[in-house]
A and B are shown apart, each in its own frame.
Chain A
Amino acid sequence: MQYQSQSVAKLYFIAAIGLFLGQILFGTVIGAQYIWGDFLFPAIPFNVARMVHTNLLIVWLLFGFMGAAYYLIPEESETELFSPMLAILMFWIFLAAGAATILAYLLVPYATLAEITMNDLLPTMGREFLEQPTITKIGIVVVALSFLFNIGMTMLKGRKTVISMIMFLGLVGLAVFFLFSFVNPHNLIEDKFWWWWVVHLWVEGVWELIMGAMLAFVLIKTTGVDREIIEKWLYVIIAMSLITGLIGMGHHYYWIGTPEYWQWWGSIFSAMEPIPFFMMVLYTFNMVNQRRREHPNKVALLWAQGTAVMAFLGAGVWGFIHTLAPVNYYTHGTQVTAAHGHMAFYGAYVMIVLAMISYAMPLLRGRVANSNKAQVVEMWSFWLMTIAMVFITLFLTAAGVLQVWLQRYTDAPMGFMAVQDKLEIFYMMREIAGIIFLIGLGTYIYSFFVGGEEEATA
């Protein structure tokens, strides 16, 4: 750690990992509810557990991005953070608001929560992933603005690099597109239309900038390859992601009541979306092969390489599988989508945040890298979680294909629930893979407490 103020990142990383654990616990609950419909009912109904699972994912990734920015921006700018106090204050506000929201989901019926939080004044609730009460959404905007102000001022007084600029651009985009969560027209088609401006333009747009910047940062630090080379790749990957990703949004507009041309635009542009992810794999492995130093933090590099590969598979390949309109006509909203969602989020965003934590956390704790023993434990967690996620994806894909076959691509379609019964075997296997993922996450958390001889001190 070169700058004292980078230490605020530690708080954010710890919170991120804690919330990640919560997300996975609820994931295993919903997984069980797919098999035993009344599991934990009425205490935790499926819709509530699912909401907690997805909301926690978003919140902990945001904590991860912010922590990464508080670590990365001072180091890139070669100056102390503008205001560590503001960063710490915002941390507690965000954590308190996040925790209160999740607890409210669990303790109060959703309709009552809407009433208490006066959703009537500015209705924004009740939409998938954007379930947060309006007051929480306003809080998120305030936190995001303070955060952008803080890192923006830091960048202004220091060195400007391509990595910090792209990171900042991505974070500004994240804040700007979140504003569309306040757009809530009565017309359901218009509602869905703008809803994707948050959901799609986050994960297939501006978040890719954040991911690219973080990956480039970790690669520069761990491989020692020239900044110019890495930046050039970054430019190209970002350009390609934006060319394909922005209009690729059309792949969500096939069947929601929007004009037919979206089927052409969506199919053509989103079919290209795997390309930047493939380039990311080439680039990451290329940089590792050209490395000029043997960084003692091996596991950070493992996460970085894992990100490239798993993002390509999850976002690229599994996205492509059902992105073309004629295919999506059958697969839309089936378990194929769930399979893609799981591996894409894990590969692209979970792994990059973990790569960043893995690189930064030892430095924040005063050493270049963790002991060999701790790294081996963390590598175990890498493989446990990654392989478990591969199996979750495969089982869900199998379930999805069978679902399409029985329910849609047939002359004698079966009813939704009848088909769900037929999928039970895959749901069972998915749940087992999910529990292995949870064990992997436990191993990951344990790795922070493994001692052993330290590699070196900072």
Chain B
Amino acid sequence: MSESVAQSAIAKEPLPGDLAIWFVIMAEMLVFGVFFIVYVFVRSNNVELFNEYQLELHRIGGVINTIALITSSYFVAMGVYAIRKGDVQRTGNMLLLALLMGAIFVGVKIWEYSHVFGAGIHLSTNTFYTFYISLTFFHFMHVILGMVILAVIYSFLRKGKYTAEAHMDIETGASYWHMVDLLWVVLFPLVYIIR
């Protein structure tokens, strides 16, 4: 079992996980995609305002979170790889590490929000903050949901539900988690960096 087996599995099955999750992923990406486009459009009409308030955001926190989510996605991918080889123990460890990285994201985000909301900023402060809070909070909710999914999968794994042959749920959860990661990879530069 190795590269060749994994590759043939990929060749047979172009979409990992349950087909239904891919419809959900497409739907989610569509909603976020529209949100991103609207953000860009509104930003281009309020460049000065957005430039000014963008500087108030904590970029280092954003960088830490980017690293956390990408690393988390890596662990999830390794978990899928491990279960394909039937290594349940390693899959479990990888899922736990992924959850830990997710928890770091959540912790940093809560810290960031506590500063923002602590400064009396809210959804109606100005257009920039309307978008900053809306976009990051919707994404934040997806991180939480993704973590719940991974945690449920972990508990099923511990109960011995998955094998090298039957582990569709893990691939399904992993696909969703990668989407959460991907959205952040677009969201972070768009809202925090690009000027």
Contact = CB atoms under 8 A, between A and B. Distances in A.
Interface in A210-232: 232
Interface string B102-130: 00000000000000000000011000001
A353 B62 CA distance: 50
A264 B31 contact: no
Nearest to A239: B24
B142 to A, nearest CB: 11
B123 A261 contact: yes
A269 interface: yes
B31 A244 contact: yes
A90 interface: no
Contact of B134 (A236, A240, A265): A265
Given A232-B20, A236-B23, A268-B38, A261 B31 contact: no
Interface string A307-343: 0000000000000000000000000000000000000
A239 B123 contact: no
A391 to B, nearest CB: 33
A265 B135 CA distance: 10
A275 interface: yes
A325 to B, nearest CB: 11
Given A232-B20, A235-B20, A240-B23, A261 B34 contact: no
B34 A240 contact: no
Interface in B75-101: none
A236 B20 contact: yes
Contacts of A44: none
Contacts of B18: 232
A268 B35 contact: yes
A275 B30 CA distance: 10
A326 to B, nearest CB: 12
Contact of A260 (B20, B31, B124): B124
A271 interface: yes
B6 interface: no
Contacts of A264: 38, 130-131, 134
Contacts of B123: 259, 261
A272 B38 CA distance: 14
A232 B19 contact: yes
Report whether over half of chain A's contact residues are helix, strand or loop; otherwise say mixed. helix
A374 to B, nearest CB: 39
Nearest to A272: B31
B190 interface: no
Place the interface of chain A in its size category: 10 to 19
Place the interface of chain B in its size category: 10 to 19
Contact of A268 (B23, B27, B34): B34
Contacts of A269: 31
B124 A243 contact: no
Given A232-B19, A240-B23, A260 B30 contact: no
Contacts of A243: 27-28, 31
Interface in A271-328: 271-272, 275, 279
B130 A260 contact: yes
Nearest to B122: A259
Given A264-B130, A264-B131, A268-B35, A239 B27 contact: yes
A264 B137 CA distance: 14
A243 B31 CA distance: 9
Nearest to B32: A268
Interface in B23-57: 23-24, 27-28, 30-31, 34-35, 38
Given A232-B19, A261-B123, A268-B34, A240 B131 contact: no
Chain B CB within 10 Å, residue with most, of A240, A267, A271, A279: A240
Nearest to B35: A268
Nearest to A235: B20
A265 B27 CA distance: 16
Contacts of B134: 261, 264-265
Nearest to A279: B23
Contacts of A236: 20, 23-24, 27
Contacts of A267: 38
Interface string A233-258: 00110011001100000000000000
Nearest to B138: A247
Contacts of B27: 236, 239-240, 243, 272, 275
A230 B172 CA distance: 19
Given A243-B28, A261-B123, 9 more contacts: A240-B23, A240-B24, A259-B123, A261-B124, A267-B38, A269-B31, A272-B27, A272-B30, A279-B23
Interface of A: 232, 235-236, 239-240, 243-244, 259-261, 264-265, 267-269, 271-272, 275, 279
The 4 A-B residue pairs with the shortest CB-CB distance, nearest first, are A236-B23, A261-B130, A259-B124, A261-B123
28 contacts: A232-B18, A232-B20, A236-B20, A236-B24, A236-B27, A239-B23, A239-B24, A239-B27, A240-B27, A259-B124, A260-B124, A260-B130, A261-B123, A261-B124, A261-B130, A261-B134, A264-B38, A264-B130, A264-B131, A265-B134, A268-B31, A268-B34, A268-B35, A272-B31, A272-B34, A275-B27, A275-B30, A279-B23
